[in-house]
């Protein structure tokens, strides 16, 4: 499991260079037989980049934030949803809820639209949204496109810059 609570910004900068425009870390010093300027990290199955420092795995997006800001928020959101894109412009501090707002529709979604599901009882499409951890019904619609418009309007209003519509 990757973590970030055991490293300081000073220690990080002793070992690694970070390019905020590319999001790539490179080694400053040789590490276990590697050469200087070698790209640091390995892409995990979930797409995130993990870097081994002093025997501890760290997630690169958290190290990028620490490198640039000197601290680490509880969660960091990848704005474009690409977990390997660690450019500082693509990262932002977020709450867990905000991070969840910036997700695509679920894989089991049958409507094709985020925030839209078939409502069996009415025979119509229902729009819904999660606000402050609670699922809120937005109404029933004759087609999924209209339901998605309702979802999009509410998501933009309540989820603001974290809205994924």
- Phi, psi (5° rounding) for residue 60? -60, -35
Global pTM?
Answer: 0.73
Look at residue 110 in the predicted model and tell me its pLDDT.
Answer: 77
Give the whole-angstrom CA distance, residue 88 versus residue 47: 17
Look at residue 89 in the predicted model and tell me its pLDDT.
Answer: 97
What value, to the nearest 5°, has the Cα angle with vertex 59 and ends 43 and 5? 160
**Quick one: what percent of the chain has pLDDT higher than 70?**
88
User: pLDDT tens, 15-67?
Assistant: 999 999 999 999 996 656 655 678 999 999 999 999 999 899 999 999 999 99
Residue 103 or 136, more confident: 136
Scanning the chain, the segments in alpha helix (DSSP H) are 9-15, 60-69, 96-101, 144-158
Scanning 23-143, the segments in alpha helix (DSSP H) are 60-69, 96-101
By the 8 A CB rule, do 66 and 4 touch?
yes
Tokens of 120: 């069996």
Domains of the chain: residue spans and CATH: 9-94 (3.90.75.20), 104-162 (3.30.730.10)
Banded model confidence at residue 97, pLDDT cuts 50, 70, 90 = confident
């Amino acid at each position: 499991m990757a973590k970030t609570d055991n490293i300081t910004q000073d220690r990080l900068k002793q070992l690694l260079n970070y390019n905020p425009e590319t999001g790539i870390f490179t080694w400053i010093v040789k590490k276990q037989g590697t050469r200087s300027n070698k790209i640091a990290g390995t892409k995990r199955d979930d797409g995130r980049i993990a870097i081994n420092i002093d025997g501890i795995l760290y997630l690169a997006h958290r190290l990028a934030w620490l490198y640039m800001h000197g601290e680490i928020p509880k969660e960091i959101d990848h704005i474009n949803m690409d977990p390997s894109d660690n450019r500082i412009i693509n990262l932002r501090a977020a709450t867990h809820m905000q991070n969840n707002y910036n997700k695509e529709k679920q894989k089991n979604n049958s409507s094709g639209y985020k925030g839209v599901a078939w409502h069996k009882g009415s025979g119509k499409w229902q729009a819904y949204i999660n606000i402050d951890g609670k699922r809120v019904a937005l109404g029933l619609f004759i087609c999924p496109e209209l339901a998605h418009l309702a979802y999009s309007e509410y998501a933009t209003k309540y989820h603001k810059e974290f809205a994924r519509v």
